């Protein structure tokens, strides 16, 4: 399967890229679903996407980052092959943390009232936009790392 999108890309990189694109598209489907009034289905789609992303980041992205990016830091940070994945990991951590916070507020009663937001649309639209921004830095990282320069 290696090199599905860019010849020479490892098969796992292809699989992770396709997986993340699917997660991003399903989050948009989840948004369309809640506009149709299907809140429970929305909760299941959004909730599972936020959670299923965690093992993929920890098992694939973090080890790749530690192996190929960290050795070049901070000296090589000005190069896009270093700063783009660094931006992805930093913004991705924020998007994941915000996603988990949204799930705790909108899907549980675990948090005290003073920590709960009321404007669902504003918080969740921000999360969806941030998630897609991170996804696009992931696509950029894939092409920066594997596309023949
Ligand atoms: C337990 C999980 C969740 C529940 C119960 C939930 C519930 C809701 C509800 C009730 C609305 C309608 C708000 C309104 O019309 O004022 C909404 C809107 C929305 N939700 Fe969620 N949500 C959850 C998680 C998420 C997550 C994690 C995301 C993003 C990744 C998300 C994305 C959105 C978006 C983009 C909208 C706005 C839809 C629009 O433009 O009208 N939701 N959600």
Residues 51-61, mean pLDDT to the nearest whole number: 97
d(CA 56, CA 53): 5
103 lines ligand 1 (CB under 6 A): yes
2 lines ligand 1 (CB under 6 A): no
Say what the pLDDT of residue 5 is. 66
pTM (2 decimals)?
Answer: 0.92
Q: What is the phi/psi pair of residue 38, to 5°?
A: -90, 75
Say what the pLDDT of residue 26 is. 98
d(CA 80, CA 86): 9
Residue of minimum CA distance from atom 28 in ligand 1: 124
142 lines ligand 1 (CB under 6 A): no
Residues 36-61, mean pLDDT to the nearest whole number: 97
| pLDDT band, very low/low/confident/very high, at 147 (cuts 50, 70, 90) | confident
CA of 117 to the centre of ligand 1 (A): 12
99 lines ligand 1 (CB under 6 A): yes
CA of 134 to the centre of ligand 1 (A): 19
Say what the pLDDT of residue 149 is. 64
| pLDDT band, very low/low/confident/very high, at 33 (cuts 50, 70, 90) | very high
CA of 103 to the centre of ligand 1 (A): 10
d(CA 13, CA 26): 20
Domain boundaries, the chain: 11-146
Cα pseudo-dihedral 73, 20, 36, 104, rounded to 10? -50
pLDDT 10s digits, 58-116: 999 999 999 999 999 999 999 999 999 999 999 999 999 999 999 999 999 999 999 99
Residue 1 has pLDDT above 70, yes or no: no
Residue 44 has pLDDT above 60, yes or no: yes
């Amino acid at each position: 399967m290696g090199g599905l999108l860019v010849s020479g890309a490892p098969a796992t990189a292809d699989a992770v890229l396709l997986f993340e694109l699917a997660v991003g598209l399903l989050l948009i489907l989840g948004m369309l679903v809640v506009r149709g009034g299907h809140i429970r289905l929305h909760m299941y789609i959004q909730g599972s996407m936020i959670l299923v992303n965690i093992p993929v980041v920890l098992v694939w992205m973090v080890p790749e980052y530690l192996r190929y990016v960290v050795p070049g830091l901070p000296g090589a940070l000005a190069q896009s092959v270093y700063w783009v994945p660094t931006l992805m990991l930093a913004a991705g951590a924020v998007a994941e943390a915000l996603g988990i916070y949204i799930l705790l507020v909108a899907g549980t009663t675990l948090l005290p009232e003073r920590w709960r937001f009321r404007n669902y649309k504003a918080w969740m639209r921000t999360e969806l936009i941030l998630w897609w921004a991170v996804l696009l830095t992931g696509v950029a990282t894939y092409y920066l790392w594997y596309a023949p320069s």
